[in-house]
Structure 1
């Protein structure tokens, strides 16, 4: 039984968010929370909030024990890009792309073999 949580339209570029999400993929929830606590990136708060939401969904909706959960999948998709214009020399303009991300974290209980 997998449970997921999605944070949509997060105002950070997907490339920056993937750096943090790659750190926690495949780890246990406790280990992932520990890694996020000591990672010095701006997006960490949002990733941690999404991870905690996935754990709460698993605990509340599916009665799963949080200590047995691990991060089965974690990925970042590109959201819509806000396009802005910056004035440049000689009356020209350049485009500024303000990128957004959709962060998805899937947790599942680890099967004991």
Structure 2
């Protein structure tokens, strides 16, 4: 049985989060957690937390069976664009520059190798 965890409206650009998601995709769960804990990008912290949540969801769905014994892997991870907050910044000669504050949605699916 696979388990899903979702992170919604995280305030960083989806392109930056996809770079980190590509590193973790297809890895064993233990290795992915250790990579995320030591990764310098600030997006690694919420992604590690989301992965821990997916592991807990898998354990709960499988009657408390340990995730370490089941050889869990990150089966699927994808990043979608979330809502964009639009702001205006003052610019010279009475103009305004648009600022787009982007966000993203991350979905992780973990499953056992078997």
Give TM class, smaller chain: over 0.9
Structure 2 unaligned spans of 5+: none
Paired positions, count: 111
Aligned to 2:75: 72
Give CA deviations for 1:22-60 in whole Å, capped at 9, x if unaligned.
Answer: 111000000101111221001111100100000000001
Deviation at 1:110?
0.5
Alpha carbon RMSD of aligned pairs, Å?
0.9
| Runs of at least 4 residues off by over 4 Å | none
Structure 1 unaligned segments of length 5 or more: list them.
none
Q: Secondary structure at the match of 1:7?
A: strand
TM-score (norm 2): 0.94
Q: Aligned ranges for residues 53-72 of structure 1 at < 5 Å?
A: 53-63=53-63, 64-67=65-68, 68-72=71-75
